[in-house]
Amino acid sequence: MKLQFFIGPALAVVLANPATAESVKIGLITKFPVPFYSTMEEAAKKYAADHPGIELLTGQGQSATDIEGQIALIESMVTQGVKGLAVTPVDPTVAPALDKAVAAGIKVVLVDNSIPGWKGQAALVSTNNLNGGKIAGEFLKTKLKDGDKIAILEGVPGVPALDERVTGMMEALGGVKVNVVAKGATNCTLELGTSVTEDILTANPDLKAIYAACGPPIPGAVKSLANANIANDKIILVGFDACCGELEAIRDGTEDASVAQFPAKMGELGIATVVKAIHGEPVEANVDTGAGLVTRENVKDFE
């Protein structure tokens, strides 16, 4: 894990002259090092720089399954006296650590995904992942017919945001009765995206489409398709996140579409919502940061 401190330039004046304003210390904890979370973190830092009185600490885990690392970051920030936390929970098992933070009077805002059954958050700032999945499903519905075989590259099974993307996709397919011949967990990594796709292609030479619940596995899937000498127009490839090489793949024609999230909005609104909660201002229970479909026709709008 990594832990950083960020204080906006205006805050330096506040700290030098405490009588002018009261600073508030906030922590942002993101899951793991990919461009999506880097963008989120940079937006949060910019928000802190633009708003005097915010002292921002940032931390990040090592991988999509780094539960211990995230718990350690939560505990560290609590010890350092944060008044609020914006957290992208890596797994529901981090809830007890967040319970301790809430018991200490810290306002917790979940970002990117929820924790099923956990009621300690002041708000959830995220994409509506079920609706995002439906965007992918509506696109696939225009490309598939009854009986077509599809495969799903799952993220980390059990993580609600990732599971909802699959559920939404299947719901949006509606009356198109496809045959889901394979599902494989990728832990949202390129490496598993490669190997899981290789296994799927070997077992299903007549596959018509692959849907990935997160962005990092997509370049691996593209590599596996190329290694198998499968033409770009033979298998429809749809992802989620529009990150980690996906925009380049869409532009090159090796990926057909991806559902884009807006991580910069998550970072900005995540910190803004924490600040409101700390100050006792009303906050929305669910802050939807939106989603959109990226295709070759509009990819320039997302670059």
Round to whole Å and give the CA distance between 206 and 204. 5
Round to whole Å and give the CA distance between 303 and 297. 12
Domain map (residue ranges) of the chain: 24-127+262-289, 129-260
pLDDT at res. 23: 86
pLDDT at res. 303: 82
- Return the closest-CA partner of residue 152 out of 226, 247, 218, 229: 218
Task: Characterize 14-28 residue by residue with b for buried, 16 or more Cβ atoms within 10 angstroms of its Cβ, and e for exposed.
Answer: beeeeeeeebbbbbb
pLDDT at res. 25: 97
Q: What burial class does residue 72 get, using C-beta atoms within 10 Å of its C-beta: 0-12 exposed, 13-18 middle, 19+ buried? A: middle
Place of tokens 């963008």: 39
- Which CATH number does the domain 24-127+262-289 belong to among 3.40.50.2300, 3.40.50.300, 3.40.50.1820, 3.50.50.60? 3.40.50.2300
Tokens representing residue 173 in the block:
């397919």
How many whole angstroms from its chain centre is CA 75? 22
Q: Could you tell me the CATH superfamily of domain 129-260?
A: Response regulator (3.40.50.2300)
Round to whole Å and give the CA distance between 42 and 232. 35
DSSP 84-131: EEEE--SSGGGHHHHHHHHHTT-EEEEESS--TT----SEEEE--HHH
Round to whole Å and give the CA distance between 291 and 128. 8
256: three-class secondary structure by DSSP: coil
Beta bridge partners, 257, equal 238, 295
Fold agreement (24-127+262-289, 129-260): yes
Round to whole Å and give the CA distance between 104 and 120. 12
pLDDT at res. 18: 30
Please name the amino acid found at residue 22: E
Please name the amino acid found at residue 296: R
Beta bridge partners, 259, equal 240, 293
Q: How many CA atoms lie within 13 A of 62 on its CB side?
A: 6
Split the chain (303 residues) into runs of 10 and give each run's mean pLDDT. 39 26 88 92 96 95 94 97 97 96 98 93 96 98 97 91 95 95 96 98 97 96 97 96 94 97 96 97 95 97 88
